[in-house]
Amino acid sequence: MTTVGDLTARNASFASAGFERDLTINPGGNVMVIGCVDPRVDPGHVLGLANGEAAIIRNVGGRVTPATLRTMAMLSKVGQANAETRRPGPLNLVLLHHTDCGMNDLAAFPGLLAEYFETTVDELDAKSVTDPVGSVRTDVEVIRQSIHAPDYLVSGLVYDVRTGAVEVVVPPTQVPID
- Of the two residues 151 and 155, the one the predictor is more confident about is 155
Residue 178: the pLDDT is: 67
Residue 100 marked as a ligand binder: no
Picking from 72, 130, 127, 80, the residue whose alpha carbon sits closest to that of residue 105 is 130
Section 92-110 average pLDDT:
95
Residue 97 marked as a ligand binder: no
Section 43-64 average pLDDT:
97
Measure the CA–CA gap between 178 and 176, rounded to whole angstroms: 7
Measure the CA–CA gap between 41 and 36, rounded to whole angstroms: 7
The chain-wide mean pLDDT, for the chain, equals 94
Measure the CA–CA gap between 102 and 116, rounded to whole angstroms: 14
CB burial class (10 A; 0-12, 13-18, 19+) of residue 84? Answer: exposed
Residue 16 pLDDT > 70:
yes
Centre a 10 Å sphere on the Cβ of residue 30 and count the other Cβ atoms it contains: 19
Centre a 10 Å sphere on the Cβ of residue 142 and count the other Cβ atoms it contains: 19
Section 29-43 average pLDDT:
97
Measure the CA angle with vertex 39, ends 106 and 23; round to 5°: 125
Residue 133: the pLDDT is: 97
Q: What is the pTM of this model?
A: 0.94
Residue 51: the pLDDT is: 93
Out of 3.40.1050.10, 3.40.50.300, 1.20.59.20, 3.40.50.720, select the CATH number for domain 24-174.
3.40.1050.10
Range of weakest confidence among 39-43, 146-150, 155-159, 172-176: 146-150
Amino acid at 36: C
Residue 136 pLDDT > 80:
yes
In 14-151, the DSSP E strands lie at 31-36, 54-59, 91-98
CA 22 from chain centre, in angstroms, equals: 24
